[in-house]
Structure 1
Amino acid sequence: MITASVKEQLRQYGEQRFSGNVLALVDGIQYQQHTGQQLTPENDRTVSLFAGTNDVALAHAGPWLVDPKTARDHLADLRELEQARPGVIWLISSESLERQAAKLRPHLTVRIPEGRSAVLRFWDPRVLHALNAVCHGRSERELFRAADAWHYLNEGRRFTINDNGIDRRTMGASESP
């Protein structure tokens, strides 16, 4: 079961003739610590964003996309994880699992001063929330355009981000997927 606010947004997109999917963006290390199991790649069910990158060795701990329609066995774990730890972001997207992963991969690293690069932990709801607060220009908001909407819990409140900014929800953390 997906959160009521995510379902409502998907219904609204549907009324606009949007053929959207809900995908879970999951922190692999948080999932492993919470469930005692690692996420593994499975066609049309789960995919690591680090797959096919120079950071593939971090795949187990990094961001994963999970399709709740095909990976129903993960839903209870995701619901519990979202409530217990900052490890789940729900995406509304018109893309398939693999295509959505491809849209997110370019945002895994950023350039920092002196030309070095760093991993950008946008799959952590706390980081995503902070990024949204400081990213205002069109190029800075490119990450947020990688999905139609981003739903997450931060400090017990549910938020939705889209390309235009943030919709501050007043729902409590008890609303779970």
Structure 2
Amino acid sequence: MIPSQLAERLERLRTSAPGLRAYALVDGYQYAQHFGHPLKRRWGAVAALFAGTEDEPLADAGPWVIDLAAPEAFAIASLAELEEARPSVMWLFADQELDALVATLQGKLNSRLPDGRVALVRFWDPRVFVPLFNALDSAGRQSYFGDVSEWHGLRNGKRFHVSHHA
């Protein structure tokens, strides 16, 4: 099961937004390091964010989106274990179907630097997410993170979330 406080939060939100879905955004490299095998399409509704991009050769090590309505309980429990052990899991609540969410998140993978170079933005890493969020102004936060109803993560042992719900 997803961490209990997140499950409770999702149920409260679903009273006013019944179409809200839960997803895990998982670092494939951290998953493989922790469990000794790559995260593959073994849990049903799973998508590698690097698939179909120029970074596709790194898809196994990159971020994966898992629809939490699809996997068995042991799979979700392994993600909760992974989150505690490594900076590797973000929990997302979104009203989008998996394919639409993947397209949305793929659009956030790269950012153009002032000198014209392109940089990969590791927003799925809680160590990067918080400083990125804090570096943006209100409009930037809404533009970058607003397509997802809520983002939840664990950083330095403390739970954080970004929400546009009251």
TM-score of the pair, normalised by structure 1: 0.86
Give, in angstroms, the shift of residue 34 of structure 1.
Answer: 0.5
What is the alpha-carbon distance in structure 1 between the residues aligned to residue 116 and residue 153 of structure 2? 32
SS class of match (1:121): coil
| Deviations, residues 103-125 of structure 1 (Å, cap 9, x unaligned) | 11110000112100010000001
What is the alpha-carbon distance in structure 2 between the residues aligned to residue 106 and residue 91 of structure 1? 16
Identity of aligned pairs, percent? Answer: 38
Equivalent position of 1:96 in the other structure? 97
What is the alpha-carbon distance in structure 2 between the residues aligned to residue 92 and residue 69 of structure 1? 12
What is the alpha-carbon distance in structure 2 between the residues aligned to residue 118 and residue 41 of structure 1? 27
What is the alpha-carbon distance in structure 1 between the residues aligned to residue 136 and residue 14 of structure 2? 28
| Range that drifts further, 5-14 or 31-40 | 5-14
CA 1:44/1:157 → structure 2, altered by over 3 Å: closer, same or farther?
same
| Structure 1: runs of 5 or more not aligned | 168-177
| Structure 2: runs of 5 or more not aligned | none
Equivalent position of 2:69 in the other structure? 69
Give, in angstroms, the shift of residue 67 of structure 1.
Answer: 1.6
- Contact 1:144–1:163 (8 Å) recurs in 2: no
TM-score of the pair, normalised by structure 2: 0.91
SS class of match (2:152): strand
Structural RMSD (CA): 1.9
| Range that drifts further, 131-140 or 19-28 | 131-140
